[in-house]
Structure 1
Amino acid sequence: MACAVVLIQAQMAPAVDAGDMVSPAMDLVLGASACCLACVFTNPLEVVKTRLQLQGELQAPGTYPRPYRGFVSSVAAIAQADGLWGLQKGLAAGLLYQGLMNGVRFYCYSLACQAGLTQQPGGTVVAGAVAGALGAFVGSPAYLVKTQLQAQTVAAMAVGHQHQHQSVLGALETIWRQQGLLGLWRGVGGAMLRVTVGSAAQLATFASAKAWVQERQWLLEDSWLVTLAGGMISSIAVAAVMTPFDVVSTRLYNQPVDRAGRGQLYRGLADCLMKICQQEGPLALYKGLGLAYLRLGPHTILSMFFWDELRKLAARAQHQGT
């Protein structure tokens, strides 16, 4: 997802005691670890979302079978076809993606904080967006494999192109052999745009959503529930702006390619957007919207919780060592 933890780090940075600060390298490790832990819990939502977003590809509404109709029924269908472990398809690739993407994001954002760039007007938004875009670029091959693995299932439940990968390493090797180095970054433009837009939306809404909850005095001001409520409210805006780009990224990442590595279904981001709107209607750009929202809130909070706890442990160990 997205830039949730970088956002929360940005909101909390002024309040962090100097004694609790950690180095950019440590933030890289802790941030990547926290998001990987969160991924274990939210990956099933990614699997369902991917299937929903691929369903009906290049077919007019009402002319294709719909094995996936909603969250509960989709979970049941996947579990029946692939077993309960099928809900964790692509987990290894997802962990690799979270580690690479968030490691880069945290490191770059921490460097920006260290250099004082985030103290400048608009610096937080720019630093978060740039760090997110760089992270998305580095993690793109892992996201590509994750999407293709999550789409794989039995013929009766198949949606989108079926790549028949056997493992993460096998998928990377196959793509490298058939499409070359650039093939591993196919669709990266859509992914970078998705993360950048999502980062900007979350940075613009999280602080105000959290302040609004605090003003209502429904919860204790220092309660973790305030962060939870702010994250869930902010996630509405993030899901709304990110989902169309998420759908496009899923389609671009999963499409088959010819011998020259060119997509056989879409020529690029704009072509994919146009074909989806023409053949499935504009609302098709919001396939998986509910799941995107359900994932963003929990992933934000879980990432934040794990990051905060790991950071406390690291700061305590650093203090004891000195």
Structure 2
Amino acid sequence: MATSDFVLGGLASVGATFFTNPIEVIKTRIQLQGELAARGTYVEPYKGIVQAFVTVAKNDGMLGLQKGLAPALCFQFIINSFRLSIYSTAVEKRWMHNKQGEISYGLGLMWGAIGGVVGSYCSSPFFLIKTQLQSQAAKQIAVGFQHEHSSMSDALRQIWQKNGIVGLWRGSVAALPRAAVGSGAQIATFGKTKSLLQEYDLVTQPSCNSFCAGLIAGSIMSVAITPPDVITTRLYNQGVDAQGRGLLYKGWLDCFLKIFKAEGVYGMYKGFWANYLRIAPHSTLVLLFFDELIAVREKYDLHY
């Protein structure tokens, strides 16, 4: 895997995260409200995306919409460095092509999932802290367990002191299905869609081709990733006892069963539209930025 692709993948995601972090804050809050409660039996401080934006801005201030930005940037840089560099390497080495020389959707799923799993595990501490910081809110609109972190560095220090390195990687294994499903769907759809748009002369201009393929890939990804994303958010945000064990959930399967039993299918798709509005543009921007940065690098290489 090329070192430059690793760095470019990370930079592409950092650029996109500045724009999409506010909707990530909204998505996290919606996924946590009414935790393990039947629909209609709890107060909903967040009743819709627009109303949620206004509610957060009113109670937490405008900066409240950028809560968890620092760990979000670290998380996105690490996970996408691995995901996109593995994807780029797989394309260049033709590991994603079938015997006819065409990009295979199945192989794209496999390589996308591999990249997602590797990146997700390595970046897990930052996803953990991002989730806990994003859930922090004024008392009147607080949902989920409220962790007392003042910053990313404070969160790292507190978790390390209480539970050591195990605490920093708590929930990392449970997050792997989310990464595998989401990354696999996104990478496979992006590569295949780019190829089809060019093959049928629908969108051939490079930047437009990347933009359209990224938008379609993000749409597919949002449908696939929402249920495991809800589970991951709940696992990462739950409080822990003195031994570092979760207060509500024992693990991925236990979390899934409890959500499904208490909240039904609706619970598994909480925050879907917020997730869609975050993932679709984020995916589009990340993949577009990545392709543009690759093009700049190749142009530079040709001149020098």
TM score, norm. by length of structure 2: 0.89
| Equivalent residue pairs, number | 298
Q: Distance in 2 between matches of 1:203 and 1:309?
A: 17
Q: Distance in 1 between matches of 2:203 and 2:250?
A: 52
Q: Structure 1 stretch 234-243 or stretch 284-293: which is displaced more?
A: 234-243
Task: Report the alpha carbon displacement of residue 64 of structure 1 after superposing the two structures with TM.
Answer: 1.6
Q: Distance in 2 between matches of 1:307 and 1:203?
A: 12
Q: 1:310 aligns with which of 293, 296, 300?
A: 293
Preserved CA contact (<8 Å) 2:207 2:288: no
Task: Report the alpha carbon displacement of residue 202 of structure 1 after superposing the two structures with TM.
Answer: 2.9
Task: Report the alpha carbon displacement of residue 88 of structure 1 after superposing the two structures with TM.
Answer: 0.6
Instruction: Report the identity percentage.
Output: 44
Asked whether 1:181 is paired with 2:165, we answer yes
Task: Report the alpha carbon displacement of residue 215 of structure 1 after superposing the two structures with TM.
Answer: 9.1
Preserved CA contact (<8 Å) 1:228 1:297: no
Q: Distance in 2 between matches of 1:108 and 1:308?
A: 14
Preserved CA contact (<8 Å) 1:24 1:106: no
Task: Report the alpha carbon displacement of residue 145 of structure 1 after superposing the two structures with TM.
Answer: 0.3
Q: Distance in 1 between matches of 2:16 and 2:88?
A: 21
**1:16 corresponds to:** none
Would the alpha carbon gap of residues 318 and 106 (structure 1) be closer, same or farther in structure 2, given more than 3 Å must change? Answer: same
5+ unaligned residues in a row in structure 1: which ranges? Answer: 1-22
Would the alpha carbon gap of residues 124 and 208 (structure 1) be closer, same or farther in structure 2, given more than 3 Å must change? Answer: closer
Task: Report the alpha carbon displacement of residue 41 of structure 1 after superposing the two structures with TM.
Answer: 0.4
**2:233 corresponds to:** 250
**1:32 corresponds to:** 10
Q: Secondary structure at the match of 1:117?
A: coil
**2:248 corresponds to:** 265
Task: Report the alpha carbon displacement of residue 210 of structure 1 after superposing the two structures with TM.
Answer: 5.8
Q: 2:58 aligns with which of 60, 76, 80?
A: 80
Would the alpha carbon gap of residues 236 and 109 (structure 1) be closer, same or farther in structure 2, given more than 3 Å must change? Answer: closer
Q: Secondary structure at the match of 2:148?
A: coil
Q: Distance in 2 between matches of 1:160 and 1:264?
A: 12
Task: Report the alpha carbon displacement of residue 204 of structure 1 after superposing the two structures with TM.
Answer: 4.6
**1:150 corresponds to:** 134
**1:51 corresponds to:** 29
5+ unaligned residues in a row in structure 2: which ranges? Answer: 99-103
Per-residue CA distance 1:25-66 (angstroms, 9 max, x = gap): 001111100100100001011000000000001223222211
Per-residue CA distance 1:186-230 (angstroms, 9 max, x = gap): 11123211111122323454456567777998x654274454444
Task: Report the alpha carbon displacement of residue 125 of structure 1 after superposing the two structures with TM.
Answer: 2.9
**2:112 corresponds to:** 128
Q: Distance in 1 between matches of 2:203 and 2:91?
A: 29
Q: Structure 1 stretch 305-314 or stretch 32-41: which is displaced more?
A: 305-314
Q: Distance in 2 between matches of 1:208 and 1:119?
A: 10
Give 2:7's aligned amino acid. V
**2:101 corresponds to:** none
Asked whether 1:104 is paired with 2:47, we answer no
Question: Whose RCO is larger (CA < 8 A, sep 6+)?
Answer: 1
Asked whether 1:241 is paired with 2:219, we answer no
Would the alpha carbon gap of residues 234 and 307 (structure 1) be closer, same or farther in structure 2, given more than 3 Å must change? Answer: closer
TM score, norm. by length of structure 1: 0.84
Preserved CA contact (<8 Å) 1:239 1:293: yes
Q: Secondary structure at the match of 1:281?
A: helix
**1:161 corresponds to:** 145
Give 1:169's aligned amino acid. S
Q: Distance in 2 between matches of 1:116 and 1:57?
A: 45
Would the alpha carbon gap of residues 306 and 71 (structure 1) be closer, same or farther in structure 2, given more than 3 Å must change? Answer: same
Q: Secondary structure at the match of 2:175?
A: helix
Would the alpha carbon gap of residues 208 and 131 (structure 1) be closer, same or farther in structure 2, given more than 3 Å must change? Answer: closer
Task: Report the alpha carbon displacement of residue 139 of structure 1 after superposing the two structures with TM.
Answer: 0.5
RMSD of the TM alignment (CA)?
2.4
Preserved CA contact (<8 Å) 2:87 2:187: no
